[in-house]
Amino acid sequence: MDVHVGGVMAAESGRAKRTTYRHGDLRNALVEAGLELAREGGPEAVVLRAATRQAGVVPNAAYRHFADRGALLHAVSQAAMARLARTMEAEQAEQAALPPAPDAAAAARARFRAVGTGYLRFAQEEPGLFRTAFHVPGDMTYAADATAAGGSGKTPFELLGAALDGLVENGLLPEDRRPGAEFLAWSAVHGLAALLVDGPLRGLLPSQAHDAGQHVIDMIERGI
Amino acid sequence: MDVHVGGVMAAESGRAKRTTYRHGDLRNALVEAGLELAREGGPEAVVLRAATRQAGVVPNAAYRHFADRGALLHAVSQAAMARLARTMEAEQAEQAALPPAPDAAAAARARFRAVGTGYLRFAQEEPGLFRTAFHVPGDMTYAADATAAGGSGKTPFELLGAALDGLVENGLLPEDRRPGAEFLAWSAVHGLAALLVDGPLRGLLPSQAHDAGQHVIDMIERGI
DNA sequence: TGTACATCAGTGAACGCGCGTTCACTGATGTAC
DNA sequence: TGTACATCAGTGAACGCGCGTTCACTGATGTAC
A6 CA to C32 C1' in angstroms comes to 25
Q: Collapsing DSSP states into helix, strand and coil, what is residue B96? A: helix
CA distance B224 to chain A (A): 6
State the pLDDT at residue B101: 67
Amino acid at B167: L
Q: A163-198, pLDDT tens digit by residue?
A: 999 999 999 999 999 999 999 999 999 999 999 998
Determine if the pTM surpasses 0.85.
Answer: yes
Q: Do B198 and A140 touch (CB under 8 A)?
A: no
**Nearest-CB residue to B190 (from A186, A194, A215):** A194
State the pLDDT at residue B137: 52
The reply to whether the CB atom of residue A63 sits less than 7 A from any atom in nucleic acid chain C is yes
DSSP state of A16: -
DSSP assignment string, A64-87:
GT-SSHHHHHHHHHHHHHHHHHHH
* Cα–Cα distance measured from residue A156 to residue A81, given in angstroms and rounded to the nearest whole number: 8
What is the Cα gyration radius of chain A? 20
Given pLDDT bands bounded at 50, 70 and 90, which one contains residue A206?
A: very high
Kindly state the percentage of chain A with pLDDT values over 90. 75
Does domain B1-66 sit in CATH 2.60.40?
no
DSSP state of B134: T
Q: Do B190 and A201 touch (CB under 8 A)?
A: no
> Which residue, among B31, B24, B29, B30, has the nearest Cα to B148 in the 3D structure?
B31
Is beta strand A3-5 parallel, antiparallel or unpaired with respect to A17-18? unpaired
Q: Which residues on chain B place their C-beta less than 8 Å from a C-beta of chain A?
A: 44, 134-135, 137-141, 157, 180, 183-184, 186-195, 198-203, 212, 215-216, 218-224
State the pLDDT at residue B7: 42
Alpha helix locations (H) across B126-176?
A: 127-133, 156-169
CA distance A140 to chain B (A): 7
* Residue-averaged pLDDT of chain B: 88
Strand order in the sheet with A17-18: A3-5, A8-10, A17-18
Residues (pLDDT < 50) of chain B are: 1-15, 139, 142-143
Of the listed ranges A4-8, A199-203, B164-168, the one predicted with least confidence: A4-8
The residue extents of the domains of chain B are 1-66, 83-223
pLDDT reading at A138 higher than 60: no
State the pLDDT at residue B157: 96
State the pLDDT at residue A180: 95
DSSP assignment string, A128-155:
HHHHHHTTS-TTTTTS--GGG--TTS--
> Which residue, among A128, A45, A133, A137, has the nearest Cα to B197 in the 3D structure?
A137
Q: A62-107, pLDDT tens digit by residue?
A: 999 999 999 999 999 999 999 999 999 999 999 888 776 679 999 9
Given pLDDT bands bounded at 50, 70 and 90, which one contains residue A122?
A: very high
State the pLDDT at residue B200: 87
* Cα–Cα distance measured from residue B13 to residue A216, given in angstroms and rounded to the nearest whole number: 45
